[in-house]
Amino acid sequence: MMKKLIILLIIVGSFFTINVYAKEAETLGDLRREYQNILNEQKEYNNKSEQAKNEIKNKQAAIAKAREELTIAEHEEEETLLAIEESNERIEQLKSESEKVLQYMQQMQSKNAYVEYVTGSTSMTELITRIEAIKQVSEYIQDTLDALEKEIKKNEELVIELKEKQKALDAKITNYEAAIAKLETQAEEYNEFALSLDEKVAAAKELVDVNVKICKETIGKTDDSVKLSDCSKMPINGGWLKPLKSGVVTSPQGYRTHPVTGKAYSFHDGIDIGISEGTPVYAAASGQVVAKVSRSSCGGNKLFINVNIAGVQYTTWYYHLLKFNVDVGDIVTTDTIIGYVGGYSTSSSHGGYDTCTTGAHLHFGVQKGYYLTNGGVKTSSVIVPPGFNNKVGYRFTSRTDFYRG
Final residue in a domain of this structure, among 122, 154, 183 = 183
Asked whether residue 92 falls in the same domain as residue 151, the answer is: yes
Domain that holds residue 260: 191-396
Position with higher pLDDT, 394 vs 98:
394
Final residue in a domain of this structure, among 154, 183, 212 = 183
Asked whether residue 226 falls in the same domain as residue 327, the answer is: yes
Confidence tier at 37 by pLDDT (50, 70, 90): confident
Asked whether residue 391 falls in the same domain as residue 287, the answer is: yes
Residue 42 lies in a domain: no
**For the segment 202-248, what is each residue's pLDDT rounded down to a tens digit?**
888 998 999 999 999 999 999 999 998 898 888 999 999 999 999 99
Residue 13 lies in a domain: no
Asked whether residue 139 falls in the same domain as residue 260, the answer is: no
Residue 50 lies in a domain: no
Compute the mean pLDDT over every residue in the chain, rounded to the nearest whole number. 79
Q: Are 351 and 367 in contact (CB under 8 A)?
A: no
Asked whether residue 323 falls in the same domain as residue 342, the answer is: yes
Residue 342 lies in a domain: yes
Residue 2 lies in a domain: no
Asked whether residue 216 falls in the same domain as residue 235, the answer is: yes
- Judged against a pLDDT cut of 80, whether residue 96 lies above it is answered with no
> For 368-397, what is the mean pLDDT?
81
**For the segment 236-274, what is each residue's pLDDT rounded down to a tens digit?**
999 999 999 999 999 999 887 666 666 665 678 899 999
Asked whether residue 135 falls in the same domain as residue 209, the answer is: no
Domain count, the chain: 2
- CATH number of the domain at 246, please: 2.70.70.10
> For 20-44, what is the mean pLDDT?
77
Asked whether residue 177 falls in the same domain as residue 241, the answer is: no
Residue 56 lies in a domain: no
**For the segment 127-172, what is each residue's pLDDT rounded down to a tens digit?**
566 566 667 777 777 777 787 788 778 778 877 887 887 888 788 7
Q: What is this structure's pTM?
A: 0.61
Distances (CA, A) of 354 to 77, 185, 381: 50, 20, 26
Asked whether residue 134 falls in the same domain as residue 201, the answer is: no
Asked whether residue 379 falls in the same domain as residue 293, the answer is: yes
Residue 33 lies in a domain: no
Q: Are 4 and 188 in contact (CB under 8 A)?
A: yes
Residue 108: partners with Cβ closer than 8 Å, 6 or more residues away: 114, 117
Asked whether residue 195 falls in the same domain as residue 308, the answer is: yes
Rank 95-99, 250-254, 336-340, 346-350 by mean pLDDT and report only the highest.
Answer: 336-340
Residue 404 lies in a domain: no
Asked whether residue 198 falls in the same domain as residue 318, the answer is: yes
Final residue in a domain of this structure, among 183, 201, 228 = 183
CA distance 381 to 147: 80
- Judged against a pLDDT cut of 70, whether residue 337 lies above it is answered with yes
- Judged against a pLDDT cut of 60, whether residue 119 lies above it is answered with no
Q: Are 390 and 249 in contact (CB under 8 A)?
A: yes
